[in-house]
Chain A
Amino acid sequence: MITRVIVKKATYRDSISLMKISNSISNLPGITQAAVVMATELNRRVLSEAGFADAAIGRAASDDMIVALEAKDAASLDAALTETERLLSPDEKPAGEKAPPTSLEEALEQVPDANLLVVSVPGQFAKREAMKALGRGLNIFLFSSNVPREEELELKKVAKEKGLLLMGPDCGTSIINHKVLGFGNTIREGMIGLVSASGTGLQEVTTLIHKAGLGISQAIGTGGGDLSEEVGGITMIQGIELLEADKQTKVIVLISKPPAPGTMEKVLEVARRCKKPIVVNFLGGDVSPRMLGKLRPANTLEDAARVACELAGVKPRLVASTIPRETISVALAEHKKLARSQRYLRGLFSGGTLCYESESVLQRLLGEVYSNAPIKPEYKVSGDAPSKMHTCIDMGAEEFVEGRAHPMIDFSLRNMRILQEARDPETAVILIDVELGYGSNADPAGQLVPVIRKAKGLAEEAGRHLPIVASVIGTEGDFQGLASQEKALSEAGVLIMPSNAQATRVSALIASGEKVEAAISGRSD
């Protein structure tokens, strides 16, 4: 082992930079130990005692910085020293590099033939940027939320007039020309086109299509407000028309929470006229046969994927709405292990649409389901109150997101809630969703596994068995690694189901046993 200590005089870096530099250096080949600390007397002494001889030498003052390195051999040490100097030198822009643009106009000077604006500024400034962009002929992916409905309508009217697509506001996911905008997964190319007012809904359906062996042509997000009464589904209608004209698309899928009545009429009228087959998933919202005509209804996201695959003329490989016999046996066995007090299902969701879908499925199976985002207003509970009977919580709702990152990225609130439910003697099963892909946390399983182990441990200590069920939305192309994520969760004792609807049914089965078995076996909901 060779050690070396460098002292940099009056070199200030904030703590976060110091930590990053320290971690970078520790990971260099051949480096066994590295410390980047201020050159206080005590630090120098401790480093000296730890074998870094030159720490004691020289008259470093407390405001100087020390880098202490221990390496396997001289070569690694030298390489590390060079890299260290580089990391510690002040940032310098290489000569001739252009300053980044500070406005849309400047950006368009650099890319005059830009065709898409991706915008995520605060809601009150969104219209201004979007209107400018539409004026310059750009389509728009508008991630921002809190844009007033009147502004959304105004923007969409202009976009429509100009033949441009406005995806949003409040649009989290689109896949255009096989490129993911915002949050989304890596999906095979194929012939199914989708138009969706729900981000996580779009994520689940596209990943299921991929897992079935098929692929997508386009996935057009419309934003959460498109199917309101005021906006009238402008973007969804545009989406249908675009996909009808698109050569690659053979089947179209529409996804949304139940639209406002007038809007539903308008959208379905356009859909009925479309020459290509269309699957309509309004998440359990009832659509009258008159309005459907030859359109194919689907009550769940999983069903939408299945029907779309069938319409594409290819028998789906993996999408099934029936739960395998073995899984039903496992679920019933789990039910038998529960203590008498454990009677209720607790769903904790990062995707709002999935929460809604679960409530919709559970209503039929279990009856009352409470939620902070309920289907029926009489079942509303507050997000920070303890769960009441069967409860599904949308952890992405405003009351949780205030002041912190979205639950697909920051797991801390949901983790705490998992432990809370574990301590509750009435909790029979916990149901969660996990999203992979662009935009999501780099290691969701890494975030969840310690908490899951702890939760099960807490329940064990109190003499209870605590089953946890999850659906994982992702494909093998996602950077988090679908297989390793599922493996890690599985090893922690999580029962993984292929879709949110199935995970929901299995959880209901675990909580209520034979009472719901008949409703579940062999039937697609």
Chain B
Amino acid sequence: MKDRFVSVASRREVLRFGAISSLGLALSGRVLSGSDTAVAKAVGAVLPQASSPLHSAGALTFGADNVLFVADISGAAIHAFALRASDITPQTGIELGNFHNFEGRDLVLGLDYKLAALLGTTVDNIVVNDMIVHQPSQQIFISAERGRGTDVVPAIVKLNHGNLEVLDLESIPHSQVALPNEPDKKATLEFEPQQRYAITDLKYYNGEIFVTGISNQRFASTLHRIPYPFNGRMGTSSVEIWHPVHGEFETRAPIVRQLIREVRGEPYLFAVYGCTPLVRFPIASLKDGAHVRGDTIGELGYGSNPLDMMTFTDPFEHKEYLLVTIDVRSASRIGISDLESAQAEPTGGPIDFGPGGLGRTQRDLPIRAEHMAILNPRWAVVIWRHPRTSYRLDLGTIMIPYFFDRRFGMSEMNWPNGPDPFEYRKHRNEIDHS
């Protein structure tokens, strides 16, 4: 007897009649009572396979109207997923921590282990590439990959009240734009090895996305500026910077992280490079075909790589800051008003090998997150390795503006009869961490 399709619910998809009827459902996996393992063997089957448009899942950013942009290095493309109301679950009301006591909260313990289980693999085969917050709903989205080779399985996962859920990308309205990746002419010749443009970051501003990256063969920095909705147009500029510590030399280098902000009514792209200059480019200068020299306004310290770049407002003094997290150093906090007023470091002046410019007035913050994003005015979210559980990744909150979690400290204030200058005890029992 043929099986018959009997139900379609919103989260179940139609298994087509033809596909089912062609199945020979031979049984082979042994039914076990104990723990022995059978290697499954069976006959051919035709099944509907999910066909995500992604080949890989890298940097993420949100645009207007809940459009989620995903950088796809293997696919050499930027994808736009127009999330529907059903794709977003508001996370307001979630307990985020005890703000008064500088105590964050773990939202996911063992994020990498849980992603591995969800995606059907083992933890050594999971890579977390980026995290972003959908601000209106405060829902966290993560780009992750299963596998490390040419068989990578990409996924966008969202956090829903502590549970990880895979976003059903194939059902979401989607468009994409190809990035110039391979030499597109002289196809009659042989091209090995292939050029590849590794997208380091993408950002949305006012109907356009800005894409930065590094090529495996060309060291020079290329920046793509692409209107959305995609219409086939793309502007490509090459950018270079003056390094204040150079004295008399200029440099080319790839932008690692970027952030777009208006300064006195004019939009600027702020970029951080490896090793770690902070540079300002007027958006208006990033025209197709232009070679643009940015103004270096800070030298944040060498020997390190930037991880994330964001802005926040100090809830106490109501001052706005730029925050750059860095891999082997403290995070760097710089006043937005300083970004606005900073003069470009003089070119051709005497050698000053830093920290320079705004790097001299930056405040170091004790953040060691692998990924970080601002959740709301009081809390940031981090993906980090706890010192005592470094074998796993955790996802949790840390309070703004100190980005410090008292739970992990060991100071006299934590003892029952110790001093209590911040009135921790008064707020001690305000949340339940269990």
Do A and B pair up? The answer is no
A contact residues vs B (CB 8 Å cutoff): none
